[in-house]
Structure 1
Amino acid sequence: MADKYKAILQTELQNNDLPQSAKMVLDYLDKLKNFPLIIAITGESGSGKSTLVNALRGIRNRTEGAAPTGVVETTVEPTEYVHPEMPNIRIWDLPGVGTTNFTADKYLEYVGFEKYDFFIIVSSDRFRENDAKLAKEIQRMNKKFYFVRSKIDHNVRDEKEENPNFNEEDLLKLIRDNCTKELQDLGFESPKVFLVSCFKLHLYKFEDLCKTLMEELPEHQRDVLLLALPNISLDVIKRKKETLGSKIMWLSAASAAGAAVPVPGLSAGVDLSIIVSCVIQCAISLGLTPGLLQKLSDVTGVSLEDLKAELKSPLAGVKITSALVLQVLTRSAAYILATTVEEGARLVPVIGTVVAMSLSCATTYKALKYILNTLAEDTQRVFIKALGLNSPV
């Protein structure tokens, strides 16, 4: 998709259709932001699949909008849950194939397998014949699937009660090896099994699952998933920053094209609109909106006040408005000077337009890079505080 839009953009710039170029760039970025991703999660009754649905959406069990959980099977039919911040991401909680009267092929027909981009098959103890049959049927239909062994925190806790001196890595290897052997016995030559605690995604091997998805999903689905993931590690935060940063050149190009239109004040208005939209997306993806900080506080038990104390950027932890962004930008003497010179350059025939475009592009680029850098730094500090990583324990 990116190459197609680059080619169109080049053609429109060559034809000097600059307003259309700006519109095309913004249209492309809007398509990226709203690119759909549909995830299916299935598994045996009580395996923790509904808890995983909630964890991926960044909310706790038994809170408003959460998938119902319990000691008995609570998912009796396919149920869709929309990501609370990114409605283009939809996670389906499916009944376990062992809890229905369908064979694996009929089960996939029943749940409408065509609409899902990939499947996560969850087990809390061992993978069974039903799981294997389902995986093979998914594979036959050319869809991706991933085995997740859940409730690893329960296994670690139980082992610690039995033997306080146990080696956690040895236990994890034993569980992974057992799951791998089970699946090999069921006909999978080299199965990948990811060990996960749905209550503590930053622990164990959930990040390995994410890395595998980043490698195997198409580019746009990969970016959508990455920006929607909870902040489970500093590496994920770094990847989010890089992905958001890759959009800045496109936004700067839209800014430059908008600056070519000979209407006083129009460029500044376009630039502000571009910057505000980008700041909102960054705050959502990095988990720095008021609502997402509150959810992080709920999940981790760290007070909202303590999390907010780690924020340095005036654009973090607050509602983003045009007035607030403009207020932040106008604190910069360089920004004021650049926008003033840009408006003045527009009065110079021919060459003035080129100068105005260059200044608009550079000013927008520098402003967005600075904002993204400061928000990412805040995210890292909040993450460290939330998980107690700066604690001696």
Structure 2
Amino acid sequence: MDNEQMSGILSEEDIQEIKTVLENKNLAEAIESVKTIITNIENVPLNVAITGESGSGKSTFINVIRSLNTDEEEGAAITGVVETTMEPTPFSHLKYKNVKFWDLPGIGTANFKAADYLEKVHFSQYDFFIIIASERFKENHIHLAQAIHSMNKKFYFIRSKVDVDLESSRKRRNKSFNEEEMLQQIRVNCIISLRDGGVGEPHVFVLSLMDLQKYDFNRMQNTLEEELPRHKRHMFLLSLPNITLQVLERKRKILNKLNWKWAFLFSAYSTANHTKAYEILQDVLKNHLNIFGLDNNSLIRLSNTFGKDINDLKSVIKSPFASTEINQELIQRQLTKNVAKYRISFENFLSYIPIIGDFITESATFFRSYIMLCESLKDFLEDASNVLQKAMEDST
């Protein structure tokens, strides 16, 4: 295997992690270490505080980021132009209960005091704050940002309801209207207001809460991914709604980081507990389907959102794991199929990670299952992208 092929299978970071986790351990200890790593990653808590003035779109943002189709669905945050949140209210992600978006009381009252506000909403429990404004940032926003900063917490600004500003400008200046220039003007005005208030170099994102695919959603995602601690980043990315190809691709990449761990557990159990080994891969593949929105419930929700026949959405799905029941027989076929797609020898593969051979008698099982999991994620990414495009056809 040459270096280019190797980079497409196991990264240097993965190889070093394997060595760190497995060195100086027996098989039983190595299994427990890998299981602990997975458990810690999948159960890390993430608490995001959402605040702003009444009517700015706090609750709508919480509903949209949790993949709710409307503000009337069961479990949705209550929306309205009048402040409806009197105490910090947590809203768990639909799929990841350890990810919570907190709807905080509005900050637009005349007697608002940032320090008192943060103490009241228990600021220390949040990983970061998102401050939402539906017009230029005001003094209350600035005071709140300063107080959050003084307490060593991260904060990000969202300028919401940009669609309204754009439509108004388009009507007033029909001939000279330029959307990107208008968006940049809104960004600059917000940044200047915040800088003048002593906030420093703020992160400002202009969004349409009715359509997160527009404007700065990808830029916001990139920024948060860069700044969040590694163990929080994983859950944040998985919790994002599947609304852009970039989101889907990021999910594939972070899930790839877990593949060697699942492959190790599968190969470690494959001799002593054949049934348990295949149950591991079944559960992983089903979870990946769910993450990419290819399970039946997710497809039903998507078809309802865009008014599409669910059979039309299913027609563009090619992965056998997404179109057929995931059972041991199917997994066995895919284990053999995917290995043949790589023009490398098993011996060369193990030369990069010889420590695997020290633990697992059937080391080829690790190789086959790892390749299969990586290939299945590529297929899920392609299917999810095709489903999203199909759903959005003629929906402009």
TM category, shorter? 0.7 to 0.9
- Structure 2's unaligned 5+ residue stretches are 1-13, 341-356
For 2:170, which of 150, 160, 164 is the aligned residue? 160
- Residue 42 of structure 2 corresponds to residue 33 of structure 1: yes
The alignment partner of 1:201 has SS state of coil
287-296 or 211-220, larger mean C-alpha shift: 287-296
Matched residue, 1:326: 328
Aligned to 2:22: 9
Q: TM-score, normalised by structure 2?
A: 0.84
Could you tell me which residue of structure 1 aligns to residue 354 of structure 2? none
Give yes or no for contact 2:127–2:154 (8 Å, CA) kept in 1: yes
**Alpha-carbon offset, residue 102 of structure 1:** 4.6
Match of 2:53 among 30, 33, 44: 44
Structure 2 vs 1, CA of residues 216 and 317 (structure 1 numbering), >3 Å: closer, same or farther?
farther
Are residue 277 (structure 1) and residue 288 (structure 2) matched?
A: no
Is residue 2:311 matched to residue 1:305? yes
How has the CA–CA distance of structure 1 residues 247 and 233 changed in structure 2, closer, same or farther, with 3 Å as cutoff?
same
Distance 2:360 2:71 in 1: 55
Partner residue, 1:58: 67
Count, aligned residues:
364
| 2:335–2:368 Cα contact (<8 Å) kept | no
Q: Which amino acid aligns with 1:56?
A: I
Contact 1:19 1:257 in 2 (8 A): no
Does the alignment pair 1:247 with 2:229? no
Deviations along 1:249-271, one digit per CA (max 9) or x if unpaired, are 11122233334x6x3xx2x3233
Is 1:73 paired with 2:74? no
* Cα pair 1:329 1:335 within 8 Å, conserved: no
Corresponding residue of 1:342: none
2:136 is the alignment partner of 1:126: yes
Name the CA distance, whole Å, in 2 between partners of 1:282 and 1:385: 20
Deviation at 1:290, TM superposition (A): 2.1
Give yes or no for contact 2:335–2:372 (8 Å, CA) kept in 1: no
1:392 deviates by: 12
Deviations 1:4-60 (A, max 9, x none): 996353221xxxx21332232122112211111100000000000100000110002
Q: Give 2:234's aligned residue.
A: 223
The residue type equivalent to 1:77 in the other structure is E
What is aligned with 2:160? 150
Deviating 4+ runs (over 6 angstroms): 2-5, 335-338, 352-355
Deviation of the 1:332 alpha carbon: 4.5
CA-to-partner distance for each residue in 1:156-182, whole Å, 9 max, x for gaps?
Answer: 233333344421111111111111121
SS at match of 1:324: coil
Which of 368, 376, 384 aligns to 1:371? It is 376
Q: Percent identity?
A: 39
Do 1:121 and 1:148's aligned partners in 2 also have CA atoms closer than 8 Å?
yes
Aligned equivalents of 1:271, 1:247: Cα separation in 2:
16
Question: Counterpart in 2 of 1:213?
Answer: 224
Once the two structures are TM-superposed, the CA of residue 317 in structure 1 deviates from its matched residue by 7.1
Residue in 2 aligned with 1:346?
A: none
Contact 1:5–1:28, Cα closer than 8 Å, also in 2: no
Distance 1:297 1:135 in 2: 40
Distance (whole Å) between structure 2 residues aligned to residue 336 and residue 308 of structure 1: 23
Deviation, structure 1 residue 85: 0.5
Contact 2:27–2:359 under 8 Å retained in 1: no
- Once the two structures are TM-superposed, the CA of residue 309 in structure 1 deviates from its matched residue by 2.2
Q: Report deviation, 1:382.
A: 1.3
Q: Which amino acid aligns with 2:248?
A: I
Structure 1 residues 239 and 336: CA distance shift in structure 2, 3 A = closer
Cα distance, 1:239 vs structure 2? 1.4
Structure 2 counterpart of 1:9, which letter?
A: L
The 2-side partners of 1:313 and 1:151 are apart by 38
Instruction: Tell me the SS of whatever aligns to 1:41.
Output: strand
Answer whether contact 1:227 1:240 (CA < 8 A) is retained.
yes
TM-score normalized by the length of structure 1: 0.85
2:54/2:107 contact within 8 Å kept: no
Aligned pair partner of 1:293 in 291, 294, 299: 299
The CA distance in 1 between the partners of 2:339 and 2:395, in whole Å, is 47
Question: In 2, Cα distance between the equivalents of 1:333 and 1:282?
Answer: 17
Contact 1:39 1:92 in 2 (8 A): yes
- Cα displacement (A) at 1:354: 7.3
Post-superposition CA distance 1:360-383 (Å, at most 9, x none): 212211221232221111011112
- Describe the SS at the equivalent of 2:326: helix
User: Equivalent residue of 2:131, what SS?
Assistant: strand
Q: Distance in 2 between matches of 1:58 and 1:22?
A: 35
1:348 alignment partner in structure 2 = none
- Partner Cα separation in structure 1 for residue 182 and residue 338 of structure 2: 59
8 A Cα contact 2:282 2:326, kept in partner: no
Gaps of 5+ in 1: 339-351
Q: Measure the CA separation in 1 of the matches of 2:129 and 2:304.
A: 28
